């Protein structure tokens, strides 16, 4: 079960290529993707590099520190499943990006 939590006003988000938000003690990375937004954990599980500062390529973000790739939809890491990141559903309501967090 999850609940929708306000993350940031869409008008205030600037992407380079991602945008970091702090929501209820979690740092998340938001990326524009396929006409909407994808949200993943911001810290690379290898060395905690901020994934919002990575490079976007074909629906994946590439970690700026060691070039590991993370799929924006599944969170899967090219190095192996033990290194995947959590993904979060996102929606826009009344101009505010909301993220689905576990209850």
pLDDT digit string, tens, across residues 11-34: 999 999 999 999 999 999 999 999
pLDDT digit string, tens, across residues 78-101: 999 999 999 999 999 999 999 999
DSSP 8-63: EEGGG---SS-EEEEETTEEEEEEEETTEEEEEESB-TTT--BGGGSEEETTEEE-
CB 13 within 8 A of CB 99: no
Predicted pLDDT at 64: 96
What distances in angstroms separate CA 55 from CA 3, 72, 99, one per listed residue?
A: 29, 12, 22
Question: Which position has the token pair 């890491």?
Answer: 77
Question: Domains of the chain (ranges plus CATH)?
Answer: 2-102 (2.102.10.10)
């Amino acid at each position: 079960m999850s609940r929708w939590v306000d993350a940031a006003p869409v008008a205030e988000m600037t992407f380079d290529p991602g945008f970091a938000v702090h929501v209820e003690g979690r740092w998340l990375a938001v990326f524009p993707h396929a006409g909407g937004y994808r949200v993943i954990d911001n810290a690379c599980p290898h060395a905690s590099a901020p994934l919002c500062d990575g490079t976007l390529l074909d629906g994946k973000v590439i970690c700026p520190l060691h070039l590991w790739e993370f799929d924006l939809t599944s969170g899967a890491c090219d190095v192996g499943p033990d290194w995947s990141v959590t993904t979060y559903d996102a929606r826009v309501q009344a101009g505010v990006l909301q993220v689905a967090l576990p209850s």
